[in-house]
């Protein structure tokens, strides 16, 4: 690993050559290849009857998989090129071209999945027995059959989405990624990206934190008419398709069906989160004492305990993450190293680059791509562990079909959050200084709040907002509803100023992936419970955990978790995660001066 450390000394930037080494030529070549495959599949259509042979069935779905591999490659290149610089017109134009082309091709092969849904139960079961890694994909098609429309209707929706929903989501990204924020630092006004600005909400200075938040909301609220109308349009589109046309019972049921998670499980999860907000409120009271404040304000939520923070080089960050993974499983560490070795990691900050962080698993046999914005702060090390955890998850599922290797959203956060836990435990186990340990515990509890309770309340807002917008609510009314929910989750322990009513405008997930955020609450509470079992069982737990990740998206979350004795329908299970959080709060309390 010494060689990797040397290579990683500078903050890395990815290369997309493993997707398209010669973009223009490769794009044309792949388009021609895919066109041939689509035409082959279309020629099979007249032969797809109820009594189709197993040979023809396999041939048809092998073609579909081959088409999907190329689609995934082209879509990934278009998106990742755009993510490198959202202000680059050529990248945006290419993304639009790819999106339009793939939509047309998807519509041409839509008949295959509709044919499957039209098979009798007896015929479908016969083919399922021979479907191999496609079993869950085909089973899912059967499960969603009641919400599937006719071929013509499905084609129309896909065409309209490419210039409707997808276009609005891209415009949101273009608009918000182009925001330039101003902040006075050491007496000088500096122009910052959002990523650079938000590092200051964790600054030791109260005034700096407040100024950073106010500047964030100044720009977003200044564009509230445009961004708010974007959101309302996306919500109505979600309802029109999911509830009106596809006949799901509620807007959130659309997401639950896609995740293959029972409504009862999501209700149990969100109810448990709301019931246990008091645990975090207790933590915020302790934090106020440690910061020598009578009460916290929302500006203070992520305030650090130490007056100075350590900055890390990228090679130091990589070493800490790699050591944490290596201690748990050499296989996990080796897979994470591939992302760095193959230059599939882009961590360098630059103007126009997409904010935040993500991992993009393209196809089962291609090393995933990771984007983050590395500032050298301790939190960036956690982000690196998080996103590399995602990458490991994708690589462990390499034996599955391109149609089933992605895990569903609720389990998609398992490896990423577990990676953070490994890193955090490594920090805590090596730290002997009481003050430093206290700071580490606070950082961990800050993160658990941000990824469990905060995410659950985003979904509570979405549930309310979707109903309100359907009833004709204004943007100001939505902001008031958001503020009311904020004040509920913090109780009397954190004062929330009025400008936080515009925070929802700055949350990309509620625009691009409605109700996505409960996956973070699901994943975090699940991992807290699983991590407790790891600590109890030691190395005996590792193969069971790796088997879970290796399954990818080849079965429902409920089925995949059963071997680990997890019952996602029970509030008692979700309570296990909060028990761990309570233990951390108690541990922090023991360090109080």
> Does residue 447 belong to any structural domain of this protein?
no
- Give the per-residue pLDDT at 144: 95
- Give the per-residue pLDDT at 360: 98
- Give the per-residue pLDDT at 9: 54
> Does residue 27 belong to any structural domain of this protein?
yes
- Mean pLDDT comparison of 299-308, 360-369, 432-441, highest-scoring range: 360-369
pLDDT band at 309 (very low <50, low <70, confident <90, very high): low
Count CA within 13 A, CB hemisphere, residue 208. Answer: 21
> How many whole angstroms separate alpha carbon 12 and alpha carbon 15?
10
> Does residue 464 belong to any structural domain of this protein?
no
> How many whole angstroms separate alpha carbon 156 and alpha carbon 241?
11
Structure tokens at 217: 């909301």
> Does residue 216 belong to any structural domain of this protein?
no
pLDDT band at 307 (very low <50, low <70, confident <90, very high): very low
Asked which of 10-24, 128-142, 422-436 is least confident by mean pLDDT, the reply is 422-436
The answer to whether the beta carbons of residues 111 and 530 sit under 8 Å apart is: no
pLDDT band at 96 (very low <50, low <70, confident <90, very high): very high
Is residue 7 predicted with pLDDT exceeding 70? Answer: no
pLDDT band at 8 (very low <50, low <70, confident <90, very high): very low
Domain that holds residue 76: 23-163
> Does residue 353 belong to any structural domain of this protein?
no
Do the bridges between strand 181-185 and strand 188-192 make them parallel or antiparallel, or are there none, so unpaired?
antiparallel
- Give the per-residue pLDDT at 351: 87
The answer to whether the beta carbons of residues 335 and 392 sit under 8 Å apart is: yes
| 45 DSSP assignment | G
- Give the per-residue pLDDT at 493: 87
> Under 8 Å CB-to-CB from 289, ≥6 apart: which residues?
592
> Does residue 326 belong to any structural domain of this protein?
no
> How many whole angstroms separate alpha carbon 534 and alpha carbon 111?
46
The closest alpha carbon to 78, from 362, 472, 311, belongs to 362
**pLDDT average, residue stretch 6-28:** 86
> Under 8 Å CB-to-CB from 292, ≥6 apart: which residues?
none
Structure tokens at 483: 């503020």
The share of the chain scoring above pLDDT 90, in percent, equals 84
> How many whole angstroms separate alpha carbon 586 and alpha carbon 579?
11
| 298 DSSP assignment | G
- Give the per-residue pLDDT at 2: 37
Mean pLDDT computed over every residue of the chain = 93
> How many whole angstroms separate alpha carbon 294 and alpha carbon 199?
25
At which residue do the structure tokens 């290369």 appear? 15
> Does residue 571 belong to any structural domain of this protein?
no
- Give the per-residue pLDDT at 5: 42
Do the bridges between strand 369-371 and strand 345-346 make them parallel or antiparallel, or are there none, so unpaired?
parallel
**pLDDT average, residue stretch 143-169:** 93
Structure tokens at 261: 């998670």
> How many whole angstroms separate alpha carbon 92 and alpha carbon 86?
7
Looking at the 3D structure of the chain, how many domains does it have? 1
The share of the chain scoring above pLDDT 70, in percent, equals 98
**pLDDT average, residue stretch 489-498:** 94
The closest alpha carbon to 390, from 344, 450, 459, 441, belongs to 344
- Give the per-residue pLDDT at 436: 74
Q: For residue 29, is it left (φ>0), alpha (ψ between -120 and 50) or beta? A: alpha
| CB neighbour class for 541 (10 Å; exposed up to 12, middle 13-18, buried from 19) | middle
- Give the per-residue pLDDT at 311: 83
The closest alpha carbon to 336, from 231, 265, 416, belongs to 416
The answer to whether the beta carbons of residues 197 and 183 sit under 8 Å apart is: yes
pLDDT band at 379 (very low <50, low <70, confident <90, very high): confident
Other C-beta atoms lying within 10 Å of the C-beta of residue 150: 9
The closest alpha carbon to 402, from 133, 140, 144, 21, belongs to 133
Is residue 428 predicted with pLDDT exceeding 80? Answer: no
- What pLDDT, in 10s, does the model give residues 243-284? 999 999 999 999 999 999 999 999 999 999 999 999 999 999
- What pLDDT, in 10s, does the model give residues 547-568? 999 999 999 999 999 999 899 9
> Under 8 Å CB-to-CB from 312, ≥6 apart: which residues?
320, 376, 377, 378, 380, 381
- Give the per-residue pLDDT at 110: 95
> How many whole angstroms separate alpha carbon 241 and alpha carbon 251?
10
Phi/psi of residue 360, nearest 5 degrees: -120, 105
Strand partners of residue 181: 192
- Give the per-residue pLDDT at 89: 93
> How many whole angstroms separate alpha carbon 332 and alpha carbon 323?
11
CA angle 542, 256, 231 (to 5 degrees): 115
**pLDDT average, residue stretch 229-243:** 97
Structure tokens at 113: 């999945």
Report helix, strand and coil shares of the chain as percent, to nearest 5. Answer: 70, 5, 25
> Under 8 Å CB-to-CB from 497, ≥6 apart: which residues?
297, 298, 299
Strands (DSSP E) found in 541-589:
none
> How many whole angstroms separate alpha carbon 330 and alpha carbon 125?
40
- Give the per-residue pLDDT at 593: 83
Instruction: Read off the CATH number of the domain in which 95 is found.
Output: 1.20.140.70
pLDDT band at 306 (very low <50, low <70, confident <90, very high): low
- Give the per-residue pLDDT at 3: 42
The answer to whether the beta carbons of residues 56 and 40 sit under 8 Å apart is: no
Is residue 304 predicted with pLDDT exceeding 90? Answer: no
**pLDDT average, residue stretch 21-50:** 96
> Does residue 53 belong to any structural domain of this protein?
yes
The closest alpha carbon to 274, from 579, 532, 521, belongs to 521
């Amino acid at each position: 690993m010494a060689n990797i450390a040397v290579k990683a000394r500078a903050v890395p930037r990815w290369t997309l050559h493993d997707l398209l080494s010669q973009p223009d030529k490769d794009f044309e070549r792949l388009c021609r290849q895919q066109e041939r495959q689509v035409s082959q599949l279309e020629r099979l259509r007249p032969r797809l009857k109820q009594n189709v042979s197993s040979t023809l069935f396999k041939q048809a779905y092998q073609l579909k998989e081959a088409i999907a591999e190329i689609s995934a490659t082209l879509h990934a290149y278009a998106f990742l090129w755009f993510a490198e610089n959202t202000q680059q017109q050529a990248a945006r134009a290419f993304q639009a071209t790819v999106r339009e082309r793939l939509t047309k091709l998807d519509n041409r092969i839509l008949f295959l999945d509709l044919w499957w849904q039209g098979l009798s139960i007896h015929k479908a079961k016969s083919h399922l027995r021979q479907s191999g890694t496609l079993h869950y994909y085909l089973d899912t098609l059967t499960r969603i059959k009641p919400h599937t429309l006719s071929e013509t209707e499905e084609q129309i929706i896909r065409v309209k989405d490419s210039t409707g929903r997808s276009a609005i989501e891209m415009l949101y990204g273009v608009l918000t990624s182009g925001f330039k924020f101003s902040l006075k630092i050491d007496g000088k006004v500096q122009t910052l990206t959002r990523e650079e600005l938000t590092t200051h909400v964790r600054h030791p200075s109260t005034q700096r934190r407040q100024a950073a938040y106010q500047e964030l909301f100044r720009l977003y609220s200044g564009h509230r008419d445009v961004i708010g109308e974007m959101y309302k349009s996306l919500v109505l589109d979600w309802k029109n398709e999911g509830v009106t046309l596809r006949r799901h019972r509620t807007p959130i049921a659309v997401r639950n069906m896609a995740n293959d998670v029972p409504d009862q499980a999501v209700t149990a999860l969100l109810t448990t989160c709301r019931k246990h907000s008091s645990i975090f409120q207790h933590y915020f009271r302790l934090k106020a004492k440690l910061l020598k404040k009578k009460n916290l304000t929302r500006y203070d939520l992520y305030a650090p305990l130490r007056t100075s923070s350590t900055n890390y080089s990228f090679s130091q960050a990589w070493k800490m993450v790699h050591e944490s993974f290596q201690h748990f499983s050499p296989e996990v560490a080796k897979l994470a190293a591939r992302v760095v070795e193959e230059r599939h990691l882009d961590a360098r900050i630059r103007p126009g680059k997409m904010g935040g962080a993500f991992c993009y698993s393209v196809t089962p046999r291609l090393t995933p791509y990771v984007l983050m914005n590395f500032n050298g702060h301790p939190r960036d090390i956690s982000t690196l562990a998080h996103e590399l955890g995602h990458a490991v998850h994708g690589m462990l599922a390499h034996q599955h079909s391109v149609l089933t290797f992605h895990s569903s959203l609720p389990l998609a956060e398992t490896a990423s959050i577990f990676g953070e836990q490994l890193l955090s435990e490594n920090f805590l186990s090596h730290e002997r200084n009481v003050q430093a340990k206290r700071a580490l515990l606070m950082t961990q509890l800050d993160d658990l709040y941000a990824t469990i309770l905060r995410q659950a309340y985003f979904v509570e807002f979405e549930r309310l907002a979707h109903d309100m917008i359907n009833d004709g609510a204004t943007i100001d009314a939505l902001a008031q509803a958001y503020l009311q929910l904020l004040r509920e989750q913090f109780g009397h322990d954190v004062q929330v100023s009025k400008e936080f009513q515009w925070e929802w405008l700055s949350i990309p997930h509620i625009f691009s992936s409605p109700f996505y955020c409960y996956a973070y609450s699901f994943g975090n509470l699940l991992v807290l419970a699983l991590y407790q079992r790891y600590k109890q069982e030691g190395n005996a737990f590792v193969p069971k955990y790796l088997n879970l990740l290796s399954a990818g998206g080849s079965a429902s979350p409920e089925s995949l978790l059963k071997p680990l004795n997890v019952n996602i329908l029970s509030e008692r299970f979700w309570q296990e995660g909060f028990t761990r959080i309570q233990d951390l709060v108690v541990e922090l309390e023991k360090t109080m001066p």
